[in-house]
Amino acid sequence: MTWYDQRVGRITSSTVHNVLHTTLENPSTSLKKICDPAPKPLNVPAVICGREHEKSGIKEFQQVMCTDHQNFCAKKACFLIDLNHPNIGVSADEIATCDCHGSSVLEVKCPYKFRSSLLPEFLGLASE
C-alpha cells in the first residue's frame, strides 16, 4: 500500500482543523480529499522547495542534536496509525530519540517565504 492509500479516510494533522470546522451542507475541500483515493501530489513551488531542502534540514538537525544529547538517533518515520482511533494517522518526517528526553517527532518545515533568508534573519535576530 502506498502512503496515499494509507491516508484515505483518515484525519491527519494537515486536515484536522478543516474537519472540525466544516459542515455537511458545505464540506471543506480537505474533507473531500480525505475520502478521495486518487493521489494528487502537490507540485507547487513551496512544496518543491521543501522537498529539495528536507534532507539537508534533517542532517543539520541531527548534527546539532548529537552534540548535546546522549545517544541521539533519528530514524525515518512511516505513516503511523493510532491503534485506538484507526481513523487518525500522522506522517512525521522522523522519530528522534535520546537518553535524556526519550522519543519525539521530527517534522521539518521549510518556509518558502524565507527561502532566501539567512537563519538570523528568519529568527528576527539580524542586527539592524
Q: Domain map of the chain by residue range? A: 42-111
One digit per residue, the tens of pLDDT, for the chain of length 128 reads 677 777 778 888 778 888 888 888 888 777 777 777 676 777 899 989 988 999 998 999 999 999 999 999 999 988 888 899 988 888 889 999 999 999 998 988 888 888 888 877 777 765 55
Residue 105, amino acid: V
Instruction: Report whether 92 contacts 106 (CB < 8 A).
Output: yes
Predicted local distance difference test score (pLDDT) of residue 76:
92
Its pTM stands at 0.65
Rounded CA-CA distance 41/3 in Å is 11
Predicted local distance difference test score (pLDDT) of residue 125:
63
Copy the grid coordinates of residue 128: 539592524
Predicted local distance difference test score (pLDDT) of residue 16:
83
43-59 pLDDT, tens digit each: 899 989 988 999 998 99
Rounded CA-CA distance 44/18 in Å is 21
Q: Which of 110, 80, 74 is nearest to 92 (CA)?
A: 80
